[in-house]
């Protein structure tokens, strides 16, 4: 029997997928996300009186919105990653989509297409964070301007930049 030199890449996951799989990692991930959201929210409120109480009451909503927004970014990544599976083998775009999908999964910096799709997903998740957090903060009683400012700071600082981390570093 001949030994195969092939690798089973399809059983390995991109590192950003670990966020959404229930593992022991969540014991670290959820409290650290909550803490980061709380610190950024508290900082973004400036000299607001009673900002400690405001943060205690609303940080969990901001944290949940962040996870939901990150899932939106993952939907973009997975959509492009699996797009080549839906194409026929004779399609001229199949090779390009395979290359982009491989880059998304293992190294977004390996080709411009993978980088652009990954950067788009980070930006889309950041935009979702902004819009959801702004709505939460207005509903919590902040003025529209203060909610906009705080939501913008939360979106920029807590966007899922982990999507850009090359997973291949773990597998090589």
Q: What pLDDT, in 10s, does the model give residues 110-135?
A: 999 999 999 999 999 999 999 999 99
Using the predicted structure, report yes or no on whether residue 14 has a pLDDT greater than 70.
no
Mean pLDDT score, 141-169: 92
Distance between CA atoms of 71 and 53, rounded to whole angstroms?
Answer: 29
pTM score, two decimals? 0.82
**CA–CA distances in Å: residue 22 to residues 11, 19, 29, 69, 153:** 17, 8, 11, 18, 29
Tally the C-alpha atoms within 13 A of residue 18's C-alpha that lie toward its C-beta: 17
């Amino acid at each position: 029997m001949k030994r195969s030199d092939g690798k089973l890449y399809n059983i390995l996951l991109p590192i950003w997928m670990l966020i959404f799989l229930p593992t022991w990692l969540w014991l670290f991930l959820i409290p650290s996300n909550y803490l980061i959201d709380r610190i950024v929210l508290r900082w973004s409120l400036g000299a607001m009186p009673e900002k400690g109480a405001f943060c205690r009451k609303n940080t969990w909503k901001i944290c949940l919105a962040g996870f939901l927004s990150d899932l939106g970014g993952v939907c973009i990544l997975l959509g492009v990653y699996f797009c080549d599976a839906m194409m026929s083998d004779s399609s001229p775009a199949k090779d390009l989509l395979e290359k982009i999908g491989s880059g998304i999964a293992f190294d977004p910096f390996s080709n411009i297409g993978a980088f652009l799709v990954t950067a788009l997903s980070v930006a889309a998740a950041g935009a979702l964070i902004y819009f959801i957090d702004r709505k939460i903060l207005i509903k919590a009683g902040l003025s529209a301007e203060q909610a906009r400012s705080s939501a913008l700071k939360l979106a920029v600082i807590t966007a899922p930049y982990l999507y850009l981390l090359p997973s291949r570093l773990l597998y090589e």
